[in-house]
Amino acid sequence: MSQTIQSQINQREGGKPMQCQQAQHSKANKIEPRGVLVWDLPVRVTHWLLVVMMIIAYATHLLGYDYYEYHIWSGYSVCVLVMFRMIWGIVGTQHARFINFIKGPKSTYNYVRTLGKKENPSYVGHNPLGALMVVFLLGGLLMQSITGLFANDEVFNVGPFYLYINEDLSLQLTSLHRQVFYWIVAAVVLHILAVLLHRVLKGEKLVNAMITGRKLLNVYTEHKVTGIPSSKLKLALAVLLVVTLTFSSLIWLA
């Protein structure tokens, strides 16, 4: 009886029930979600500029001959942006580098096999399917922009490198230029669907991450995930300058 009374007194004087102490201990051991910088500024800016330039390119194509100049300049922009992103995939920050997110067939198969299951892993950067999409889109956009340099509309307008090839090859490249666009659109649709599925199934806000650069990570294991220390902006600007000057020189010499 005296022990019961003493325990009640201890609780009133500031002692905490065992359940509260256990809850606080569990909370202390649990690492709360935190924002980690994953996507550097060059990756994010390149991503959204490619979206804008492709919309402009398609809109000016639909608007006709009077807007051809805007169409070709948007194509130039796409070409420069893609070449920059490909180089940045070699010298850029951790999650921008191809070597850090392109997986082999086995890892890709295991990822696909566990889709929709609890054991399906979450990746800080691109997952194996996302990596394939990145490679496909960059390759498609590069092909789209380069074939446009040799294309002609069989009326008034021609690409800057049209005179360096014969008429038949130019027409073939023009046809390829049109066809690749629809493959790109199909890939973009799949990309958007994948982003929505990630939001529904895993709660990942991938669009927010591509805007802010940060991802919220739940870290409950001993493996510590760290973000990138910086966006390497000076290096990015140097790469962009070299790519822009090189491409501009080729267009000017044409």
The answer to the question of residue 9 being in a domain is: no
Q: Assess whether pLDDT exceeds 50 at residue 31.
A: no
Q: Assess whether pLDDT exceeds 60 at residue 6.
A: no
The answer to the question of residue 237 being in a domain is: yes
Output the domain CATH number for residue 169: 1.20.950.20
Domain count across the chain: 1
The answer to the question of residue 149 being in a domain is: yes
The answer to the question of residue 3 being in a domain is: no
Alpha-carbon distance of 99 to 89, in angstroms, equals 8
Q: Which of 183-192, 207-216, 223-232 has the lowest average pLDDT? A: 223-232
The answer to the question of residue 28 being in a domain is: no
pLDDT at 195: 92
Query: Which domain covers residue 192, as residue numbers?
Result: 33-253
Residue 8: how many CB atoms within 10 A of its CB? 11
Q: Assess whether pLDDT exceeds 80 at residue 120.
A: no
Alpha-carbon distance of 147 to 129, in angstroms, equals 27
The answer to the question of residue 12 being in a domain is: no
The answer to the question of residue 79 being in a domain is: yes
Alpha-carbon distance of 152 to 210, in angstroms, equals 36
pLDDT at 154: 78
Mean pLDDT of the chain: 84
Q: Which of 38-42, 195-199, 229-233 has the lowest average pLDDT? A: 195-199
**Position 24 confidence tier, pLDDT thresholds 50, 70, 90:** very low
The answer to the question of residue 45 being in a domain is: yes
Determine the average pLDDT of the residues in 208-214. Answer: 92
- For the whole prediction, is pTM greater than 0.85? no
Q: Assess whether pLDDT exceeds 90 at residue 91.
A: yes
> Quick one: three-class SS letters along the chain?
CHHHHHHHHHHHCCCCCHHHHHHHHHHHHCCCCEEEECCCHHHHHHHHHHHHHHHHHHHHHHHCHHHHHHHHHHHHHHHHHHHHHHHHHHHCCHHHCHHHHCCCHHHHHHHHHCCCCCCCCCCCCCCHHHHHHHHHHHHHHHHHHHHHHCCECCCCCECCCHHHCCHHHHHHHHHHHHHHHHHHHHHHHHHHHHHHHHHHHHCCCHHHHHHHCEEEECCCCCCCCCCCCCCCHHHHHHHHHHHHHHHHHHHHHC
